Amino acid sequence: MKNNQSAVKGVPLYRSGTYTMPDSRGHFDRYGGIFVPETLISALEDLATSYEHLRNDTAFLSDFRSELKHFVGRPSPVYHAQRWSEMLGGAQIYLKREDLNHTGAHKINNVIGQAILARHMGKKRIIAETGAGQHGVAVATICARFGLDCVIYMGSEDVKRQAQNVYRMKLLGAQVNAVESGSKTLKDALNEAMRDWVANVETTFYIIGTVAGPHPYPMMVRDFQSVIGEECLIQMPEIAGKQPDYVIACIGGGSNAMGIFYPYLDHSGTALIGVEAAGTGIDSGRHAASLTAGVPGILHGNRTYLLQDEHGQIVKAHSVSAGLDYPGVGPEHAHLKDSARAQYVFANDEEALSAFHDCCRIEGIIPALEASHALAYAVKLAPTLDRDSVILVNLSGRGDKDMHTVARRAGVEW
């Protein structure tokens, strides 16, 4: 592969100073691990070995950093939501603008890293699952960029909710397979992608979009996404005069949150807050808050908090945002919850929609409904703090994809 070191240096991926998880088998204390069919064990071992070598390779890192700079447009800026902060009358709210990335979300950071890894491993067929469609669009984009075959699995309910992203994927040359089983959402798309991988493991690379799945995926996705928080460590003192008192991000599987949380784990003065989707309310049973209302179990190759019934069966998740509509969460978030290094709260559909509209009308930014959950909690928190306090919200994506959903909820004929 071409060494782009002359254009962008091979800067190592972020490594925490004192935080060393996961262990060699992918355990974040009692969470994570590898729970997959025997046919995938060898593939996962090869992946872990390749990644462990390449994460220290100058040529690989140069390629990764070059694509982030010249194709994605990084670094993404930090923006002071000054008008909104003044109206709320408390802490200053800053937004990490991942919505300005090429393809419109944070997802492409990880996808580029995994796609370059796939090329190093000689894999020319890529599969992926997607919920809101942003991960699918990112995968289709990079497959077009690198000339790789691309198959995307997406629940048929999400296909309806995210028709624009489905068309974008097809324009980029991807084959989009609508999944009709189960709840017809992200969980079921991931199930189908796993089945495809089992059947085609020799030729296929599976790009998982979140910090879940069997080891090494939770660690690998976190490492590639840590560019978000890594940039914030430099940007926040420049724009706000200090590191944030609070870092807030929405939680589905949790990749955007781990991307901004990880570089701040050693900063004890910064509180980390993940915001889950409460749907129509925790008590209603129609939500996606697995850390708030779930219990530990095993799903999609790892042990983590899951939404389950009394018989241990996975129950259907619900959120107005397709990207948070998942009955589990990444295992590292489960560990951070139990260790109390991060706090996990929730916002319901109506709160997220209210924050969505406020962000549009006050700051001129149309956020994704996923990120609107994080904004909703920031709006609650800010007035309780003094004006010198700083809140940093990871604005993980833009809301172009959510126009149909928002319009329907407002009774507007599209």
pLDDT tens-digit readout, 157-197: 888 888 889 999 999 999 999 999 888 887 889 889 999 99
The encoded tokens of residue 408 equal 């329907």
Active site residues: 107, 129, 396
Asked if the model's pLDDT at residue 384 lies above 80, the reply is yes
In this chain, the answer to whether the domains covering 40-51+107-221 and 72-104+226-409 adopt an identical fold is: yes
Cα 83 to chain center, whole Å? 28
Strand partners, 249: 274
What's the average model confidence in pLDDT over 212-235? 98
pLDDT at 2: 41
Burial of 310 (0-12, 13-18, 19+ CB in 10 A): exposed
Phi, psi of 376 (to 5 degrees): -60, -40
Q: Which CATH class is domain 72-104+226-409?
A: alpha beta
Domain ranges of the chain: 40-51+107-221, 72-104+226-409
Q: Which strand (E) or helix (H) includes residue 199?
A: helix 186-199
* Residue pair 142/173 in contact by the 8 Å Cβ criterion: no
pLDDT at 150: 98
Q: Indicate the SS3 state at residue 250.
A: strand
pLDDT tens for 259-289 read: 999 999 999 999 999 999 999 999 999 999 9
Q: Indicate the SS3 state at residue 307.
A: coil
Between the alpha carbon of residue 154 and those of residues 55, 141, 171, 211, 270, the distances in Å are 30, 16, 16, 18, 36
The encoded tokens of residue 214 equal 């069997």
What angle do helix axes 107-120 and 58-67 make, rounded to 10 degrees? 140
Asked if the model's pLDDT at residue 356 lies above 60, the reply is yes
What's the average model confidence in pLDDT over 211-239? 98
Between the alpha carbon of residue 44 and those of residues 82, 216, 255, the distances in Å are 46, 7, 20
pLDDT tens for 27-57 read: 999 999 999 999 999 999 999 999 999 999 9
Between the alpha carbon of residue 143 and those of residues 111, 112, 251, 340, the distances in Å are 10, 9, 27, 39
Phi, psi of 260 (to 5 degrees): -95, -30
Q: Tell me, what amino acid is at 195?
A: R
Considering the domain 40-51+107-221, what is its CATH architecture? 3-Layer(aba) Sandwich (3.40)
Task: Return mean pLDDT, the chain.
Answer: 94
pLDDT at 325: 86
Asked if the model's pLDDT at residue 89 lies above 70, the reply is yes
